[in-house]
Amino acid sequence: MNPEAQQDVSVSQGIRMMFYMVKPNETSFQTLEEVPDYVKQATPFFISLMLLELAISWILKGKPSGRLDNALTSISAGIFSRLPSLFSRSLELTTYIYIWENYRLISLPWHSPWTWYLTFLGVDFGYYWFHRMAHEVNIMWAGHQTHHSSEDYNLSTALRQSVLQLYTSWIFYSPLALFIPPSVYAVHLQFNLLYQFWIHTEVIDNLGPLELIINTPSHHRVHHGRNRYCIDKNYAGVLIIWDRIFGTFEAENEKVVYGLTHPINTFEPFKVQFHHLVYIWTTFWATPGFFNKFSVIFKGPGWGPGKPRLGLREEIPEVTGEEVPFSSPVSYLLRIYAVVQFALMLAFYEEAFADKAALSQVTLLLKVCFIILTLTSIGFLLDQRPKAAVLETFRCLVFLMLYKFGHLKPFIPSLSFAFEFPWVRRSGTVLLKTLLGSQEAAFKVSLGQIVFSSGAQGRKNPLPSSFTLLTELISLQLYDLGPQLFAGF
């Protein structure tokens, strides 16, 4: 796909993309290189719709549609899932192209509307079966459970994706490569994904006759429920007719409680991504008999010796509708700190994708490690883990080293000029002191500035003055904010 193609998208085009309301003649391409990166183009619309959902929720319910810590965790999972694409093309596309080039039976015309509509049905049908198997096969559930671990149900939940999922999803789309050109497939793979964003919300109620044909927020709320009646239901991507045909449809008829049947109670991204793999590993070795071990991997998550393939429904924990989602008593100051660090990490993340063609694999790997370290540290902070302060201190030191050796650009270049002036630096220190009400903090910030700035004197390439600003802020974090933020861990 071509990330540079058609980057400017109008509001009407963006909205139509998000709801699969596009026409064959505007989304048909002869080669894969011509296909735009629709998911990247949709990023502003993800943000806009999440803000709109937040506003509507405040108006209708008097409260936000979700919690900050849970939303950060969901977005973190989405970032985690995209990191492999820094190093290689999507496995779904790579395997598809290989089959197309070596084993295709016929070549349907890429510009035909019939090919376009057939691919729409084929991709959606493949998604239904992939999604169903991701719930019914334990090793596949190890990837998909990440998406279901959110105990809130809002648009940020759609971004909570697994880094493991793409290693099995390609299997279910591969038959299309026998006759559908890769360029047509790549278009529909993206639109099928984009459509599923808007159905992750509670602010849209029943949609009347549309509920008979398409997947809607009501149908997908059932899919995300841990109520007994919700388990293994409504696998559709776009068309709910697949669930109606294959007997997996269930209407929303009582309050849905979201999340896993056994909540993981954490915001830490590694556990969100990989905890079920650990469970499979321990269960595999604890289960006697070769065939039983085989079943641990390839039967349902609820299976056990002597049970049906998908387990017993009566063993699923009952819900009352009064369940309280997991949360930690995090101060407002720490929440602000986490959001600021998360925003800086997003800038670093976007920079990695923008510059990946010019960077070595080693440099990219270092960037990925820092992104993962940041996501993990934020998760520790939100969990209020005992080691959170130590990990965050280490992360800040790594940040300084990356900046010093040229792997980071100034996040706000305009500040580089402003902080050339000593009075601006002094004003910044006084402002920080005033905000925190601590003269000791200001002293330590200034001391940190002196230490790091004096270290740059006499060098051929002294550290940029914007680095002084970062030094002030990070010194403040390490010396003064630390005891305040992490008190009670």
When pLDDT is averaged across residues 335-352 and rounded to a whole number, the result is 91
pLDDT digits (tens, 9 = 90+) for 294-319: 999 999 999 999 999 999 999 999 99
Mean of all residue pLDDT scores within the chain: 85
Whose CA is closest to 137, among 369, 294, 268, 361?
A: 294
The pTM of the full predicted model, rounded to 2 decimals, is 0.83
Percent of the chain whose pLDDT exceeds 90 = 68
CA separation for the pair 114, 374 (Å, rounded): 47
Helix (H) or strand (E) holding 253: none
pLDDT digits (tens, 9 = 90+) for 109-156: 999 999 999 999 999 999 999 999 999 999 999 999 999 999 999 999
> Using CA of residue 359, residue 374, residue 403, residue 346, what is the dihedral sign?
positive
pLDDT digits (tens, 9 = 90+) for 201-218: 999 999 999 999 999 999
CA separation for the pair 466, 411 (Å, rounded): 9
Give the pLDDT of residue 4.
54
Q: Could you tell me which residue, 285 or 362, shows the higher pLDDT?
A: 285
348: confidence class by pLDDT, cuts 50, 70, 90: confident
pLDDT digits (tens, 9 = 90+) for 240-284: 999 999 999 999 999 999 999 999 999 999 999 999 999 999 999
Tokens of 179: 């006759």
Give the pLDDT of residue 406.
55
Domain ranges of the chain: 11-208, 328-409, 412-489
